[in-house]
Amino acid sequence: MRILLVEDDERTAEAVSASLSAAGYRVDHETNGEEAWFRGDTEPYAAVVLDLGLPGMDGMSILRRWRQAGQTFPVLILTARGSWSERVEGIDAGADDYLPKPFQIQELLARLRAILRRSAGQADPVLTIGPVALDTRQMRVTVDGMPIPLSPQEYRLLSYLMHHADRVVSQLELTEQLYAQDFERDSNAVEVLVGRVRRKLGVDLIQTRRGFGYLIETPGS
């Protein structure tokens, strides 16, 4: 999944970006408020990790402008401002969660997983569809209880489709979530990646909707 990290403190940004990447996310980083607002308004993100004290435009103003423009991606606020009134202001402005600094990276990852699950209508950290279970905490996939070794990119693909179950996801959307901005959009890399995941899972989970994209259906949907 593609995450926008908006943080102007270099050391914090490096630590968070490295941890998010290690956890299987594709991370874009911005330090300037104006540029961050523009990217969030024009590019598809699964979630945003947003600092409040930023040059150019403060995080609260960015968040309000995104919500006024109809952007619905979940937002996790990071800030050194710790008073209850400021936390209330952030939630009322449209934030999905609020983590005061200093914080532990593992808590940030847990909170990010939680808001991503909620945005997808999921409550359990283990996403289960048919015989396939994806543990978002351990980045572990099993089929009928047997572990399936997936590469980081294969895991990202399956995770994105399972988080968006019962919705057809276009090849373009997958490309934007899985690959860098300069990736060739007409490449058949997504098709090849889907094929590899299907072979490793060994079950009929990912459907192809010709001309539209890919779909994972939950039983009874």
Structural domain tally of the chain? 2
Q: Indicate whether 17 and 109 sit together in one domain.
A: yes
* Contact predicate 171/194, CB 8 Å: no
Q: What is the CATH number of the domain that holds 145?
A: 1.10.10.10
Structure tokens at 176: 């934007």
Q: Indicate whether 82 and 13 sit together in one domain.
A: yes
Q: What is the CATH number of the domain that holds 15?
A: 3.40.50.2300
Tens digit of each residue's pLDDT, the chain (221 residues): 899 999 999 999 999 999 999 998 999 999 999 999 999 999 989 999 999 989 999 999 999 999 999 999 999 999 886 677 777 888 888 899 999 888 999 999 999 999 998 888 877 889 999 999 999 888 999 999 999 999 999 999 999 999 999 999 999 899 988 887 666 656 688 999 999 999 999 999 999 999 899 999 998 76
Taking alpha carbons only, the member of 100, 32, 27 closest to residue 61 is 32
Domain around 179: 126-216
Q: Is residue 186 included in any domain, yes or no?
A: yes
Structure tokens at 214: 């890919």
Beta-carbon count within 10 A of 146 CB: 9
Question: What's the CA gap between 138 and 136, in Å, rounded?
Answer: 6
